[in-house]
């Protein structure tokens, strides 16, 4: 979502690093470029004005003037101000006596029903017993959609006939949760097409009856500036405790994420980063600021890896690497596990310094290369995967035909794999153990 903004801000700051001592004109020119980048990203004008003003005041201070690396000090200031703009990380408040009620609100089409299922999965992974509630009786098939999602993620759904009023459905669901021992109740309320006073009144009634500990507004990141006014209106009517941004994996300009916290004062708690029910991330302002400035996001990368690789898998892989017995079967297994973590281009962007390198190649080029690698290995026999040395010229031709690639592609893969094995042999012993300890 922030690719374009990130590229422009990094370019503006990069110009400073080429200078020794910074003048007021240098800082002013950089701030002008940063201001334009933010406005093009659809960030609220008042937010941009205040943001660049704070940076300007700090950048011309004594600390920067006396610094041996003034450009790096300015970048540090921009990072700190971005974190301030995005607000502090805020977790779900589940401190109420159970069942804790979480009410999801938002406009129609924001991805609220899917988000309810994602939150249910997240809560279950963190030791809670959630109950989904289909309280949207207005949108056709909304109840069926939530029931289908509930079956997919193996979370029960409380639903009633569409003629039953949403207020009654929510009240009955809370009673059921208390009786059957569910820890968290997720209310999927009806989406509003616009700021309908009657529908907002219904939300106020649901809030009064169910007393939600959290009232989360689900906002489509693609809506840009409108998301800010939507959040402001919902906050005034129902008292929001948090925001959830969906579709941040798309090509939205990112203005909503950078504006919404500053304008409403309501913290962003989650990001929807894909269509799968597991594609949900806690919102970390400091990590997002680092990614925007091209500093990577190693912590998020590690968390994705921990969620994908089991401890047993990591232990087996360490043994394989230590004894240099890693073969193409192991390689394809690891490749498929890494693909579950997300697009490779996104993962590389989380590594400090790699963002500049990945910009030189289109995202599809990296992912296409891995697909070809997978196709080539899939076209091999089990014996060939376990012992690549037996792959002669005729076998290479067969593998190439089976994978829809050229013999040169097969040769290149085998050559790279042999080099990898050679490196592993050099890392045997203490150094190998030290290397693998990083993956634990």
Which one of 263, 295, 327 terminates a domain? 295
- 191 and 238 assigned to the same domain: yes
Give me the pLDDT at residue 133, please.
Answer: 96
Residue 180 has pLDDT above 70, yes or no: yes
Residue 432 has pLDDT above 50, yes or no: no
Instruction: Find the mean pLDDT for residues 307-327.
Output: 65
- 157 and 202 assigned to the same domain: yes
- 323 and 287 assigned to the same domain: no
- Does residue 91 lie within any of the structural domains? no
Q: Specify the residue for token string 């006396």.
A: 66
Chain mean pLDDT for the chain? 80
Structure tokens of 434? 């030290």
According to DSSP, the β-strands at 268-272 and 242-246 are parallel
Spatial distance between the Cα atoms of 210 and 213, rounded to a whole number of angstroms: 9
- 347 and 216 assigned to the same domain: no
- 273 and 251 assigned to the same domain: yes
Q: Which domain holds residue 173?
A: 100-295
- Does residue 219 lie within any of the structural domains? yes
Spatial distance between the Cα atoms of 81 and 266, rounded to a whole number of angstroms: 17
Residue 172 pLDDT grade (very low, low, confident, very high; cuts 50, 70, 90): very high
How many domains does the structure of the chain reveal? 3
Exposed / middle / buried, residue 79 (Cβ in 10 Å: 0-12, 13-18, 19+): middle
- Does residue 92 lie within any of the structural domains? no
- Does residue 309 lie within any of the structural domains? yes
Give me the pLDDT at residue 171, please.
Answer: 96
Structure tokens of 180? 């059957």
Instruction: Name the pTM for this structure.
Output: 0.67
Give me the pLDDT at residue 423, please.
Answer: 64
Spatial distance between the Cα atoms of 239 and 229, rounded to a whole number of angstroms: 14
Which one of 55, 86, 117 terminates a domain? 86
Give me the pLDDT at residue 402, please.
Answer: 93
- Least confident range from 35-44, 113-122, 240-249, 331-340: namely 331-340
More confident residue, 154 or 82: 154
- 47 and 177 assigned to the same domain: no
Residue 19 has pLDDT above 80, yes or no: no
- 73 and 111 assigned to the same domain: no
Residue 187 pLDDT grade (very low, low, confident, very high; cuts 50, 70, 90): very high
- Does residue 95 lie within any of the structural domains? no
Report whether 200 contacts 217 (CB < 8 A).
no
CATH of the domain at 40: 1.20.120.140
Give me the pLDDT at residue 433, please.
Answer: 45
């Amino acid at each position: 979502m922030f690719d374009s903004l990130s590229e422009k801000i990094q370019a503006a700051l990069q110009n400073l690093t080429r200078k020794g001592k910074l003048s007021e004109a240098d800082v002013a020119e950089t701030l002008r470029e940063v201001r334009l980048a933010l406005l093009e990203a659809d960030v609220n004008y008042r937010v941009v004005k205040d943001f660049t003003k704070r940076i300007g005041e700090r950048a011309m201070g004594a600390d920067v003037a006396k610094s041996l690396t003034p450009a790096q000090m300015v970048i540090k200031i921009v990072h700190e101000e971005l974190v301030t703009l995005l607000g502090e990380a805020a977790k779900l408040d589940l401190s109420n006596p159970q069942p804790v009620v979480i009410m999801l609100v938002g406009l129609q089409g924001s991805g609220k029903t899917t988000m309810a299922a994602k939150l249910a999965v997240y809560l279950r992974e963190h030791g809670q017993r959630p109950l989904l509630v289909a309280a949207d009786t207005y949108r056709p098939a909304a109840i069926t959609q939530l029931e289908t999602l509930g079956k997919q993620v193996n979370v029960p759904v409380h639903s009633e006939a569409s003629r039953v009023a949403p207020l009654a459905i929510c009240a009955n669901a809370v009673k059921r949760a208390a009786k059957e021992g569910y820890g968290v109740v997720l209310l999927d309320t009806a989406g509003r097409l616009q700021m309908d006073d009657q529908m907002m009144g219904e939300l106020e009634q649901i809030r009064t009856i169910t007393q939600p500990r959290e009232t989360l507004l689900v906002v489509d990141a693609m809506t840009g500036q409108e998301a800010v006014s939507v959040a402001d209106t919902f906050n005034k009517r129902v008292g929001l405790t948090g925001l959830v941004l969906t579709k941040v994996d798309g090509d939205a300009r990112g203005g909503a994420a950078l504006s919404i916290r500053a304008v409403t004062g309501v913290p962003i708690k989650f990001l929807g980063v894909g269509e799968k029910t597991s594609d949900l991330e806690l919102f970390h302002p400091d990590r997002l600021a680092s990614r925007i400035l091209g500093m990577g996001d190693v912590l998020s990368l590690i968390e994705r890896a921990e969620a994908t690789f089991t401890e047993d898998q990591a232990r087996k892989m360490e043994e394989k690497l230590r004894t240099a017995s890693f073969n193409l079967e192991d390689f394809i297994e690891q490749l498929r596990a890494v693909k579950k973590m997300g697009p490779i281009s996104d993962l590389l962007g989380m590594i400090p310094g790699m963002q500049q390198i990945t910009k030189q190649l289109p995202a599809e080029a990296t992912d296409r290369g891995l697909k070809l690698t997978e196709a080539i290995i899939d076209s091999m026999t089990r014996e060939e995967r376990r012992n690549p040395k037996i792959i002669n010229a005729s076998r290479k031709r067969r593998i190439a035909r089976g994978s829809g690639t050229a013999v040169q592609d097969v040769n290149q893969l085998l050559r790279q794999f042999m080099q990898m094995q050679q490196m592993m042999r050099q890392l045997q012993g203490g150094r190998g153990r030290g290397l693998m300890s990083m993956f634990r």
